[in-house]
Structure 1
Amino acid sequence: MELSFYISAFVTLFVIIDPIGLAPLFVAVTAGTPAAERRAIALRSAGIAVGLLTLFGVLGEAVLTFVGISMPAFRIAGGILLFLTALEMLFERRTKRREDQAHDDRPDPSVFPLATPLIAGPGAMATMILLNGAVGRDPWAMLGVHLVMVAVIGLVLVLFLAAGVLERALGRTGINVVTRLLGMLLAALSVQFVLDGLADFGLAPG
């Protein structure tokens, strides 16, 4: 494949995954978490996201078809789960739960909502399926697509690891304000996921 294809693939995945937009989300989701634990969460979420997108890139729609799940249904489910997370951010339930629970009992956000649906969401999974379909299942070209995906998630990881600097710059009040604003944006994003899924079923405007 030509270099222009991989540049286009990088830009597409970068826009869909949005590493810059995920950084403040990571700060909000891990607010109050110790630095070492935050680094571990960042590494786990990035690793899990790479694994998920690799799985979808290699096996494609066969994964969902095997378990009887369509991509529209996957979008709707992801949207509903993301909406629940947005509610927690808006009403400080996540922060209160962290203060009330012991350290070992804190929920680990590395799988949900960070790895999926925020990093490896339905859009990114669908993009990996489409990109690998575009190269005609050529193994070397598919490898190039996956290396591009790893590069984009590598940028996500770098920004996640720098989240502590962002948190110190904002302060506790700033984090609370940003958390609520992002909670609203997440709620809107989750509704869009659901609408996209319904549109694919012909139940909502495209």
Structure 2
Amino acid sequence: MLKQSALTPDTACYRQVIPAGDYWLKRIAKDQILRIVDVEGNQAADTLFFSAEDPAERYSAVDTVRAQGNVYLGLGSRLMSTECNVMLEIVADTVGQHDTLGGACATESNTVRYALDKRTMHACRDSWLLAIAQHDEFKLTKRDITHNINFFMNVPVTPDGGLDFADGVSGPGKYVEMRACMDVIVLISNCPQLNNPCNAYNPTPIEILLWDPA
């Protein structure tokens, strides 16, 4: 199901473009609205969420999938924490499907999936590790890098139960919008992947917008 937002960019309290391969790390308050925009289309935004009060409580793919009975996220999906609390809820979505299973690219997985010479290519896990190293005020460590959401990414489940990394289903200017149900830390890697079609082999920018509660 698709739904346009009633919010307009000119009323946002925060707006920033994130280049391909870069990260975004910020605390957002309960009831703020977070929008992630696929600026040029077919990009993937690998995203982690943590409780701002206790980062040990974080987004749980297992509990989120179980709570909604669906491996994909869309309008109305509630993102659950490891304590089974609702962290965020998707309140507007012009894409319709977001991945919970494909995980994030890493130098190790690039080597296993593709070739030894791909190991040195930049990866989402590198972006996350750089972010937490440069922002120790969030008190995140390497151990906090766990399951993520791949917004805009298309990872079909095959008939034999495997995963297929396919062309994205998003397009230029499409977005997903979430209301924070608690104070959360958001960590995004704007995926630099060049080896599979998740972003058409052409990493592009995303844009982040925030709105304060009405």
What's the TM-score bracket when you normalise by the shorter of the two chains? Answer: under 0.3
- Structure number with the higher strand fraction is 2
Structure number, greater radius of gyration = 1
- Structure number with the higher helix fraction is 1
Q: TM-score, normalised by structure 2?
A: 0.25
